[in-house]
A and B are shown apart, each in its own frame.
Chain A
Amino acid sequence: MLNRISTYLYLRPKLVLALLLLPPLIWFLVVYIGSLITLLINSFFSLDSFTGQIVREFTLKTYAKLFDKANLEIFGRTTLMAAVVTIACALLAFPLSYYMARFASPRVKTFLYLAVTLPLWSSYVVRVYSWKLILAQEGIVSWFANLTQLDGILAWYLKLPVVGGSSLAISYTGVFLVFVYIWLPYMIIPIQTALERVPKSLIEASGDLGAKPPQTFWNVILPLAFPGVIAGSIFTFSLTLGDFIVPQLFGKSAYTIGRAVLTFQGTSNNIPLAAAFTMGPILIMMVYLLIARRLGAFDAL
C-alpha cells in the first residue's frame, strides 16, 4: 500500500509540490495577508467621537488625523530612535561578526554563536526588566558611578536635554540602551553569515592588486557584507518601530508608535486610528527598503 502511494506520488512531482506548499500557503494567505487586509480596511473606517462607535464607512478622516502635529511627532520620534538603534547595532555587530567569520577558530566561533543567541532563550520581558535593575536610580550603574567617583558625570549627563532624565531608567538613553541590547543578536547573525560567504580569495585578490587593508575593506568586504547589514537592519529597525514595552518601561511620557497603537485600540477602542497608525511603519519600511535597493544592497544577491 505504502509502496503504491510512493510510486503514485513519485510519478507526479507537481502534485507533491502542491501538497507540500498547501499548508504554508493557507497560513500565509489567511493569517498574514488576511490580517493585513483587515488592518487596511479598518484604517479606512472612523470612530464617531460622540457615541464612541466605529462607523463602517469608507473615509480618509482617520488618515488625516495621522497628520496632527502630535501624531507626526510620534512617527518622527520613533523613526529616529529606530534609526539610531539600527546604526548602533550595526557598528557594534560588524567587528564581532568580522572576527567570528574570518579569524575565530571553530571552537571559539561555536562559543560566540552560543553567547550571542543565548539571551534569546530567555523571556524578553524578564530581560527587559533586568535592565531596570541596572539602570535604576539605585541600580548597578549608579552604584558603580558612586564607587568610581564618576557620579558627577552621571548627574551631568542626566541633566542634558533629550538624552537625560530623572534616572537612566527613565530616559531616551535607557530606551536606546535596552533596544540595542535586545536587538543586537538579530544584527550579528546576518552580518556574520554574509561575511562568511565572502571567499578568502577575493580579499587576497584585492591585496594582490595593490589595495591596502582599509581599501580592501571599503571596496570589497563592506559592499559584499552590505546585504547582511541590510537584512539585520530590517530586523532592528522594524522591531524598534513596533515595540511598545521598552518605551513604556524606560521612556518618559512621550508616545512611540507601538505605545500609541496599544492605547488607541486598547484604552480608547479607536481601532480605525490604531490601524491607520500601523500602516505608518509598513510605509516607513517600504521607503527604507527602496533606499537600501538604491544603495545597491541587493546587487550582490
Chain B
Amino acid sequence: MSEKTAIEFKNVSRIFSVAHKDISGEVRAVDDVSLKIEDGEFFSLLGPSGSGKTTSLRMIAGFDRPTSGQILLYGQDVSNLPPYERDVNTVFQDYALFPHMTVGDNIAYGLMIKKVAKDERNQRVDETLDLVRLTGFADRKPSQLSGGQRQRVALARALINHPKVLLLDEPLGALDLKLRQQMQVELKAIQQRVGITFIFVTHDQEEALTMSDRIAVFNAGKIEQVGSPAEIYEHPQTQFVAGFVGVSNLISGDVAKRITGSEEKFTIRPEKIHLTGADEKAAGDMYFANGKVRDVIYLGLYTRYLVELEGGGDLVVVEQNLKSTSMDVMKAKGQQTRLSWKKEHINRLGG
C-alpha cells in the first residue's frame, strides 16, 4: 500500500433541512467527519441505516455536496465538482443499468462518452466482461440477466473506466446469502487484481469484516471508530461499535466490580467465555463469574447459552459443538455454572 491518500474528508458535514407537516428543523446526516482513505485500500463504511455512510459515499461521487468542510480526491478539492468531472465511478445499490442498452453498450457507456474509438471500446468491453466472468454476454439486455449477473455488469461498467476510486453502495444487498458470500470473495479478488481503491458501503458487519482492509463504523452522522477488521472486532473503542460489530456482553457498575474489582465498563465476546471447567489453577490470568443457565439455543455449529449472573444482568455465551450433541447441550438448562474468561479478552471502555 502506498503512502498516498485517495480520499480525505476534512470536517465534512451534510445538513438536510426538513420541512414536514409538524416537524421542521435540520438533520445532520454527516456531522463534522474527518477521514483518510489510503490509495489501494478496500475501505468499508459500516453502520446502520441513517448513520451517514451512504450520504458520505454520495458526496464522494458528487451526487450530493457537503454543507461545510472539504473532500479531497488525491489532494484535489472536489467538494463542488459535478459527478462527471470526478474520476470516480459508482456501483449502485439497484445496479442502475440502462434498460434500453445491451450489456455491452452499458459497459462501454463511459468510454463512448469519452469518445474512445469503437475498436478499442469493444476490446476493453470484452476484457472487462472476462474480468467479471460474463464472457459472451455483451449482446444481452439487462432484463435477460439474473440479479447476480446484473451486479457484475454494474461492476464492469464502473471498472472499465479505470477510476481512481470505485464506490460501491450496498451492491450485494439484493442478492441471496450464498451468492452474496460468493460475490464477497470475488469482489475482494477483483480489487486486488485491479489495485483500485474500493470504498464499500454496507450495514452488514460480516460483509465488512470479510472484505475490508479497514473499516469506518458510522453512527448518527459521526465515525465511532476506524480500524482493521481485527482491531474493530477485538478492541471496539465504544459501546456502539462493540454492540454493532458482532455480539458483545456489556458489563458495568456493581457486577463489573464483583468480577474485576473495578466499576469500569467493559465488554466481553460470547465466544471467549468458558461455560464450564474453569481452570482454578490459572486464576491469576482469569476472571470468574457465577450464574445460572436460563436458556439454551442449539444452532448446529454452535450453541448459544443465556446465563443469568449473580448480582443481576445476563451474559450470552457461545460454545462450539465440537464433541457435544444437541442432547448433551440441553442438559445445561437450569444448571448453576461458573463462567471464566481470560483477563486479556475483556475490552475496557473506560469511564
Contact = CB atoms under 8 A, between A and B. Distances in A.
Contacts of A300: 99-100
Given A209-B110, A209-B113, A210-B110, A204 B98 contact: no
B94 A199 contact: yes
Among A209, A215, A300, residue most surrounded by chain B Cβ atoms (within 10 Å)? A209
Interface string A191-229: 000000001011011111111100100011001100000
B96 interface: yes
Contacts of A209: 84, 89, 109-110, 113, 157-158, 161
B96 A199 contact: yes
A76 interface: no
Interface residues of A, number: 20
Interface of A: 199, 201-202, 204-212, 215, 219-220, 223-224, 296, 299-300
B94 to A, nearest CB: 6
A210 B92 contact: no
A212 B96 contact: no
Contacts of B96: 199, 201-202, 204-205
B84 A212 contact: yes
Interface in B286-341: none
B195 interface: no
A211 B100 contact: no
Contact of B90 (A202, A205, A211, A212): A205
B103 to A, nearest CB: 14
B98 A220 contact: yes
A208 B81 CA distance: 12
B113 A211 contact: yes
Given A199-B94, A204-B83, 14 more contacts: A201-B92, A201-B96, A204-B63, A205-B90, A205-B92, A207-B63, A208-B84, A209-B113, A210-B84, A210-B161, A211-B84, A220-B98, A224-B99, A296-B100
Interface of B: 61-63, 82-84, 88-90, 92-94, 96, 98-100, 109-110, 113-114, 157-158, 161
A224 B62 CA distance: 24
A179 B88 CA distance: 49
Contact of B94 (A201, A207, A223, A224): A201
B54 to A, nearest CB: 12
12 contacts: A199-B94, A202-B98, A204-B63, A206-B109, A207-B82, A208-B90, A209-B109, A209-B113, A209-B157, A210-B110, A211-B84, A220-B98
A199 B82 CA distance: 19
Nearest to B82: A207
B318 to A, nearest CB: 40
Contacts, number: 63
A224 B109 CA distance: 16
A202 to B, nearest CB: 5
B196 to A, nearest CB: 15
B83 A223 contact: no
A187 B20 CA distance: 33
Contacts of A224: 99-100
A202 B52 CA distance: 22
A220 B105 CA distance: 12
Q: Which 3 interchain pairs have the tightest Cβ spacing?
A: A201-B96, A205-B96, A209-B110
Given A208-B61, A300-B100, A215 B90 contact: no
A169 B109 CA distance: 50
Among A210, A212, A215, A300, residue most surrounded by chain B Cβ atoms (within 10 Å)? A210
A6 B161 CA distance: 61
Among B82, B83, B88, B92, residue most surrounded by chain A Cβ atoms (within 10 Å)? B83
A20 B183 CA distance: 47
Contact of B113 (A204, A210, A223): A210
B114 A210 contact: yes
Contacts of B62: 207-208
A207 B92 contact: no
Given A201-B92, A215-B113, A207 B100 contact: no
A296 B82 CA distance: 31
Nearest to A223: B100
Contacts of B161: 209-210
Contacts of A219: 98, 109, 113
A206 B158 CA distance: 11
A201 B99 CA distance: 12
A204 B84 CA distance: 10
